[in-house]
Each structure stands twice: as C-alpha cells, then as structure tokens.
C-alpha cells in the first residue's frame, strides 16, 4: 500500500481535481464529515475562510491511498481511521473520494488541518515517516505485499537508490535541452574528480559547457548550455553534499554569478560561436534549422488534424451509439405501449355496470367474496359493483411510472456507453499528445542547441517561417495597415463627395 500525503492550500483546485471525471473512469464522493455543505468546492472554501483566523497557510492535508491489492470499503475505512489517528487528525473534518483509473481503484482523503476550537492548525511533524509506518502496519494487517522501498527501514541507505530514479522535472529538462541525464552527470562528475577548489571546479565545468551559479532555493546549481538549471548534489553520485562541500571548499554562494547572469553568458557564447562559423557552415546550419522547423510545422499540422479527427470520431460514435440504443429499445417501448393500451381497453369495458357485474361473477376470487357477502348482505356488494367506476387515473399513474423507468434504463445505458466512448477518445488524445511532445522535443532541442542560426539561405530557397510571436505581430501590422487603408479610403470618398457638392453649389451660383 502506497501512501502519499502533503499539506496544501488552493482547496478550489484540489476539489476540481478530485471531481475530474475526464481523467478517471469513475469518481465517487463517499464521505464528507464535519462540513456544513454537501459540495467539495463549498466545503474547502469554508475551511479556507476559517483558516484566515489563524496563521496557517496550508489549511488542508491531502492523502492518496494506492493499494497493491484490492481493498473492500470496510478495509478502506479501517485504513483511513488508522492513518487519521497516527497523523493526529482525529475528529477533524474530512472528505473521502474514490477514483477508478485504468481499472484500478484508489482513494483520496482530505482533512482540515484547522482545529476550530483552538483556532490553530494541527501540528504534523514527520508526516512522511508516519505514513511509512502506517503503510507497513496496514500491509501486515491486510496481508498485502509492500514495494521494496517500504519493506524495511534502511536508515540513511533508504535514499541511495533515489539517485538512479529520474524525476519528472529531470526528464522534462532532458527533452527540452537534448542533453541526456547520463551524459550531463558524467561530465560534471569528471569535472568534480579533477578539481580541488571551487574556482578549479567552475573552470572545469566551463570547459565542458556548464556554469556554476547561485541558486534561488539551493546554494549551488549548475546551468547547462540550454539554460536548464540542475542541483549540484544530484549530479555527483559518488559523493554526498557534505563531501562535495568539503572537497571543493564551497563557501558562501553569494560570490558566484546568478542563474540569469549564467544564462546571459550562454546566450552571448552561442551568438559568438554562430558568428565565428564560416559562411558555408552557417548556410548548412540554416538549411538544417529550416528542415527542423518544416518538420516541426508538419508535425504540428498533423497533430491538430489528429485531434480534430478524434473530435469528429467522438461525435460520430456518440451519435451512432445513441441511435443504436434507441433502436434496440424500440421493441421494449412497443411492448409497453401495446400492453398499456390493452389494459386501458379492458378497464374502459368495465364502464358498464352489467359488464362489471359479469366480470366480477366470472372471477373466482370475487365469487368467494360475493359468497361471503351473501352470508351477510348481498345488497352492499351489488351496490358497490353497480355504482362503481373504473379508476382510469390510477392506471395512468402506473403507466407513466412504467414509461419513466424504461426511459431511465435507456438513458443509463446511453450514458454508460457515451462515457466509455469519451474515455477511449480521451486515452487516444492523451497518447497522441504524449507521442507528439516526445517527437517535437527532438526538433526543438536541435533548434535550441543551434542557437537559431540567422544565416541567409540561397536565393530561391524556401524562406524560414516566422516564429509564432513574430507571425502574430505581422498579422497585427497587416490588420492595422488594412484598417488604416480603409479609413483613408473612407476619408477620400467623403472628401470627394464634399468637392462634388461644392462644385454643384458653385455652378448654381454661376447660373444666377
């Protein structure tokens, strides 16, 4: 069982995420305890309003429960109560939401961190270690298996394997820069091994295309030639942060250049390298950039066309499915209407007292009732039969209820199929977007490394398409110039009209 929790704010965004049906096959709000309203957005806004009376910035604690093996709702409830007690959030307002994604069910629990009696936030120290212990305890209780990283406490060794795990930010940087994580780390580690001081290390990095700089949150960072910023300690596997600082005599980072200054040096260096190229190299680079931009433009067009095709496919499939389900229910509707018409006719025939009497006398149940009535007094029974009228209104109500139920069944079947279609199209759209980003990242990285060469192509060659921002400005200029021409043309027509009127007036005065 994997437990991930964190204190957070922005309750409105969290509520929207929890209720997002497009990213999940099923969303179920199972519990809302201790809130005044019945809506997640409203309830989280309530906690945010209460938190303004405290010093707490992060007023919610969000937990995701992702079990290795399926859990029953009773087991989920046991696990949530156990975790709540260990975190010190007992009796705090909470919401439980279940998601089904890719066929797997997991749960989200959100607690209010604000103690309304004391008007202060609940103190939660070492919550991740607490969740780790809770995960081990619950896995033992339910008889579930645990991931390797959670099976045992390994002290400081528990972080050793994390160096080889590339997080999302590092993977994104690799795609944007075109520099592999392994290549970057090997070069920085090589520079580290050859250096014995901060100055030597900075020079060794510059020789390999990297710059040592002062980070905003971290003390020392490394900036690559694509302008991406990396943590220094994440680049050298063989040494800890303490060992790196001791070997290189890393002191106060204030003496280093800032990240922005390093990026400016990289830009100047790339520009200088581009200017030092001979015309033939510039021309070759320009053709290469042109090919990359053309390929990128083609991919963008193909991507838009694919998304539009998926949109059309979804509309078409939804329409076809709706019609198919409607056609499949036609037989049921016909049977219902046919039976209801027959029941109406049968009831209408009972409008005549004699027909009602014959109907009663031929009915065995009513015969028994009449025999009993004869023992007492037959007159009241006959009077009830002769004076009674068929209750058509009651029958109509029964028929309307039957039709509503059948309509609900049809609507439910249609909705289920439409949701399935939308989920399939959403998955296709997600895969298409993932592939598109992966492919275009290569071209963008190549263009970024080349410094967007400004060399001119030979006469007759295809011109480099303008960048989006420039294209937008060109459209604005074109629209502005067109508007100016229209205004000038309108003013010219007005002036010509005035001249004609003035000429007519002059000619009139001349005649008199």
pLDDT tens digits, 475-503: 444 444 545 556 666 666 666 676 666 65
Pairing of strands 2-8, 229-231: unpaired
Residue, of 349 and 267, whose pLDDT is higher: 267
Are 96 and 6 members of one domain?
yes
Are 132 and 251 members of one domain?
no
Q: Report yes or no on 366 lying in a domain.
A: no
User: In the structure, what pLDDT confidence band is assigned to residue 147 with cuts at 50, 70 and 90?
Assistant: confident
pLDDT recorded at residue 84: 92
Cα separation, 428 vs 69, in Å, equals 28
Domain CATH number, residue 142: 3.30.930.30
User: Residue 238: phi, psi to the nearest 5?
Assistant: -75, -15
Are 146 and 284 members of one domain?
no
pLDDT score of 337 more than 60:
yes
Cα separation, 431 vs 437, in Å, equals 10
Mean pLDDT check: name the lowest of 9-13, 299-303, 407-411, 440-444. 440-444
pLDDT recorded at residue 230: 86
Q: Report yes or no on 161 lying in a domain.
A: no
Are 92 and 15 members of one domain?
yes
227: tokens are 């302008």
Q: Report yes or no on 306 lying in a domain.
A: yes
Are 48 and 137 members of one domain?
yes
Are 170 and 262 members of one domain?
yes
Q: Report yes or no on 55 lying in a domain.
A: yes
165-224 pLDDT per residue, tens: 566 677 777 877 778 888 888 888 888 888 888 888 888 888 888 888 887 766 788 888
- pLDDT averaged over the chain? 77
308-318 pLDDT per residue, tens: 888 899 999 99
463-481 pLDDT per residue, tens: 444 444 444 445 444 444 5
Q: Report yes or no on 182 lying in a domain.
A: yes
Task: Give the residues across from 370 on adjacent strands.
Answer: none
Q: Report yes or no on 124 lying in a domain.
A: yes
- Cβ–Cβ < 8 Å for 237, 181: no
pLDDT recorded at residue 261: 87
pLDDT recorded at residue 356: 57
Q: Report yes or no on 159 lying in a domain.
A: no
Are 256 and 339 members of one domain?
no
Domain around 447: 279-351+389-461
- Cβ–Cβ < 8 Å for 90, 48: no
pLDDT recorded at residue 78: 92
Half-sphere exposure of 203 (CA within 13 A, CB side): 6
pLDDT recorded at residue 271: 73
Residue, of 334 and 378, whose pLDDT is higher: 334
Are 204 and 261 members of one domain?
yes
Domain boundary among 222, 253, 275: 275
Are 315 and 454 members of one domain?
yes
| Closest by CA position to 357, among listed 372, 367, 371 | 367
Q: Taking residues 73-96, what's their average pLDDT?
A: 91
Residue, of 275 and 49, whose pLDDT is higher: 49
Cα separation, 453 vs 273, in Å, equals 10
Are 195 and 144 members of one domain?
no
- Cβ–Cβ < 8 Å for 465, 297: yes
Task: Give the residues across from 307 on adjacent strands.
Answer: none
Are 19 and 90 members of one domain?
yes
In order of 174, 221, 222, 494, the CA distances from 233 in angstroms are 17, 8, 10, 74
pLDDT score of 507 more than 80:
no
Domain boundary among 153, 179, 201: 153
103-115 pLDDT per residue, tens: 889 999 999 999 8
Which range scores top for mean pLDDT: 131-135, 295-299, 352-356, 461-465? 131-135
As a whole number of Å, the CA-based R_g of the chain is 39
pLDDT score of 440 more than 90:
no
How many domains does the structure of the chain reveal?
4
Half-sphere exposure of 418 (CA within 13 A, CB side): 15
The helix/strand/coil state of 218 is coil
Are 126 and 207 members of one domain?
no
């Amino acid at each position: 069982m994997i437990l991930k929790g964190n204190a957070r704010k922005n309750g409105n965004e969290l509520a929207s995420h929890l209720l997002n049906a497009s990213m999940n096959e099923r969303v179920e709000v199972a519990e809302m305890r201790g809130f005044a309203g019945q809506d997640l957005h409203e309830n989280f806004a309530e906690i945010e309003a209460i938190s303004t009376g405290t010093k707490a910035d992060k007023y919610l604690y969000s937990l995701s429960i992702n079990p290795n093996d399926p859990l029953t709702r009773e087991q989920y409830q046991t696990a949530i109560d156990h975790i709540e007690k260990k975190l010190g959030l007992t009796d705090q307002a909470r919401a439980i939401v279940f998601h089904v994604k890719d066929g797997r069910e997991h749960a989200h629990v959100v607690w209010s961190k604000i103690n309304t009696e004391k008007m202060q936030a609940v103190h939660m120290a070492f919550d991740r270690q607490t969740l780790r212990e809770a995960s081990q305890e619950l896995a033992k209780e339910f008889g579930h298996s645990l991931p390797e990283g959670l099976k045992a406490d390994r002290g400081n060794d528990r972080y050793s394997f994390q160096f080889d795990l590339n997080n999302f930010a590092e993977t994104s940087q690799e795609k944007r820069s075109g520099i592999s994580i392994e290549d970057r780390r090997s070069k920085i580690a090589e520079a580290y091994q050859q250096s014995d001081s901060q100055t030597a290390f900075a020079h060794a990095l510059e020789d390999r295309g990297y710059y040592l700089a002062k980070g905003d949150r971290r003390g020392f960072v490394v900036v690559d030639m694509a302008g991406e910023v990396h943590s220094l300690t994440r680049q050298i596997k063989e040494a800890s942060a303490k060992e790196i600082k001791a070997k290189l005599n890393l002191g106060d980072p204030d003496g280093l250049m800032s990240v922005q200054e390093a990026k400016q040096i990289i830009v100047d260096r790339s520009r200088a390298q581009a200017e030092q190229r001979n015309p033939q190299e510039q021309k070759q680079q320009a053709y290469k950039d042109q090919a990359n931009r053309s390929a990128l433009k083609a991919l963008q067009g193909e991507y838009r066309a694919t998304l539009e095709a998926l949109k059309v496919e979804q509309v078409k499939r939804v329409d076809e499915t709706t019609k198919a389900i409607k056609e499949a229910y036609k037989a049921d509707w016909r049977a219902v209407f046919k039976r209801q018409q027959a029941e109406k006719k049968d009831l209408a025939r009972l409008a005549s007292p004699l027909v009602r009497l014959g109907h009663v006398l031929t009915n065995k149940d009513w015969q028994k009732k009449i025999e009993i009535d004869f023992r007492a007094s037959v007159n009241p029974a006959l009077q009830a039969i002769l004076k009674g009228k068929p209750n058509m209104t009651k029958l109509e109500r029964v028929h309307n209820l039957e039709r509503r139920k059948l309509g609900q069944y049809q609507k439910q079947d249609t909705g289920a199929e439409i949701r399935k279609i939308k989920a399939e199209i959403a998955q296709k759209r997600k895969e298409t977007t993932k592939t598109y980003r992966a492919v275009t990242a290569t071209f963008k990285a190549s263009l970024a490394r080349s410094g967007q060469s400004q060399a001119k192509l030979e006469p007759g060659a295809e011109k480099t398409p303008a960048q989006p921002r420039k294209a937008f400005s060109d459209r604005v200029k074109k629209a502005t110039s067109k508007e100016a021409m229209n205004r000038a043309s309108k003013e010219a027509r007005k002036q010509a009209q005035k001249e004609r009127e003035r000429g007519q007036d002059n000619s009139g005065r001349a005649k008199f």
